[in-house]
Amino acid sequence: MPNVPTPTDAIPTPRTVRVAVDQIAALSAEIAERNAEKTRLIDALKLYGEGTYEGSEHYVLVKVSERSTLDLKAVRKKLTRQFIAAHTRVTEVVSATLRGYNNAVKREAA
């Protein structure tokens, strides 16, 4: 794997940025495949119902429970904007999102 710039590196070059983005894309694809496989296996165990399913070094616990959810649309209709604003917490979030583009778009940008 090529060296990827760290946040403490000075100024990233177009090449190091391109390498980092390509590595992120490859890892994301691999993770997506693995997560799909994991979901299929978990769904298969869920078909057996509640219980503890043991492997050689790990186990999976399947249990049925109830989850309560709050209908925020209904709540917003009942509460005033001032109440919602007074009880809304705002935090700064830094995020990075990987998006793909087709070859035609890539050629136009080049």
Residue 29 in contact with residue 100, Cβ under 8 Å? no
- Phi/psi for 9 (5° steps) reads -65, 155
Q: Which of 34, 33, 62 is nearest to 46 (CA)?
A: 62
Query: For residue range 4-55, what is the model confidence (pLDDT) as tens digits?
Result: 656 655 678 888 899 999 999 999 999 999 999 999 999 999 999 999 998 8
User: Strand, helix or coil at 67?
Assistant: coil
Torsion region of 51: left, alpha or beta (phi above 0 gives left; psi -120 to 50 gives alpha): left
What is the pTM assigned to this prediction? 0.60
User: Residue 11: its pLDDT value, please?
Assistant: 76
